Structure 1
């Protein structure tokens, strides 16, 4: 399956919004109005100089080409799916010229093709929860933005988001009673603890909370440890995933992520 780039915009200096459409998305089963709000697709980007072009079958490429020509796989949250128009919106975080998907997105132009599979998913704000907590950074912003739109009217939802500064903030809205705070990095050592400290400073509401905690590995681990160990959240009431890790490339992080998650799970009995 593949999408044709229809438009690209930059909602913030570090975010590229791709709108994909075209016949290559025929049969795409995007999340419906009541679907999971963290739905994601796996995109496949060929390395520079690859002897093939999109559209391609990633499995066929792996079967017929040496490893150095295999496409690089990355996972991105579906920001929006317009089934009537057949248009898929993805928000891609770009950190300079490093990585694979970010630079591809920054250079993308209408008519370019992006090969993808999915979607997969696993989270939607629980309508029976008394209130909601959503915590993350730019990498979690698309999922949090989509999730906010699914919070029932009037239900409290507390959001703490870490970013590089005011220019990196996005306008967010929700039918719920939104308590949103942006936390800005300063470039110092305190950046690594700012998110966990913001969550620790919260005064929790009464009743069961449903939490979504995604972002940088060590920051998310600290938030998770606090919520489970000190706030007494049940594991089943929290969606938690380390999307990336500071000082590591995507490839290096993917190589150790499984072990990191196992260690994180073992933090608390």
Structure 2
């Protein structure tokens, strides 16, 4: 489907929200996942595709170097009656394909869009743990909003510099780790999670949503394994990899280094 940019909002100097909708929204069917995501389609020069394409046909008839570039983004919220939705982009200069396009985009511009996908919503639990970086803010924020008012838990979010207001139940602590301009440390989130005051029996009472930089997630997984968090109450994956462009990151998902 092809969607039109309706509004552009800078939430922080590096976090940009595009609100999109238009006639193409009629083909969009949202799901109940708090990690609901879409795929944006781009030509190889980084320009957005504006005409509908048949990806199955393209993959079957063209070599892979001629396929459109796809970039996956969490949908922050959907307003079906207003026929619009919001997508947040982490922007750092000219790096990448989708983020520079979003930074330069203006209301009225079009983008080809597919989806949505998604698989996670916070299950019933005595304690909810959310862990991630800027790339996971949309999904974490959506998850926090869905929790009951009496929910208990902790959200740890790592950012480069700027925090923002995120609604959350009073019983959930929202904590920011500001990394600053120093060298990236993939162990910062794991160090903080280890220091948390965990419930006495986490395998029976804790749900975990952990997404962000790949190596940071790899360091978190053993912590959750040691605490025997069951699969049905654990969602963990890498959204990106430090020092890798998106295409390399996606290719590595099929190799040992890409596993979280």
Q: Please report the TM-score for the alignment, with normalisation by the length of structure 1.
A: 0.88
1:261, distance to aligned residue in structure 2 (A): 7.1
2:105 and 2:236 map into 1 onto residues whose CA distance is: 31
1:258 paired with 2:254, answer yes
8 Å CA contact 2:49–2:111 kept in 1: the answer is no
Aligned to 2:186: 192
1:144 and 1:191 map into 2 onto residues whose CA distance is: 21
Equivalent of 2:70, from 69, 73, 91?
A: 73
1:161 paired with 2:157, answer yes
1:62-211 superposed matches below 5 A: 68-126=65-123, 128-165=124-161, 168-175=162-169, 177-189=171-183, 191-206=185-200, 208-211=205-208
2:41 and 2:170 map into 1 onto residues whose CA distance is: 36
Structure 2 residues not aligned, in runs of 5+: none
Cα separation, partners in 2 of 1:123 and 1:261, compared to 1, 3 Å: farther
CA RMSD after TM alignment: 2.2
1:49 and 1:201 map into 2 onto residues whose CA distance is: 42
1:224, distance to aligned residue in structure 2 (A): 1.3
Q: Could you say what secondary structure the match of 1:79 adopts?
A: strand
Q: Could you say what secondary structure the match of 1:258 adopts?
A: coil
1:242, distance to aligned residue in structure 2 (A): 0.6
Q: Could you say what secondary structure the match of 2:185 adopts?
A: helix
Worse overlay, 52-61 or 235-244: 52-61
Aligned to 1:21: 21
Q: Could you say what secondary structure the match of 1:225 adopts?
A: helix
1:95, distance to aligned residue in structure 2 (A): 2.2
8 Å CA contact 1:4–1:22 kept in 2: the answer is yes
2:238 and 2:70 map into 1 onto residues whose CA distance is: 17
Aligned to 1:38: 35
1:260, distance to aligned residue in structure 2 (A): 4.0
8 Å CA contact 2:153–2:171 kept in 1: the answer is yes
Q: Could you say what secondary structure the match of 1:26 adopts?
A: helix
8 Å CA contact 1:148–1:176 kept in 2: the answer is no
Structure 1 residues not aligned, in runs of 5+: 265-269
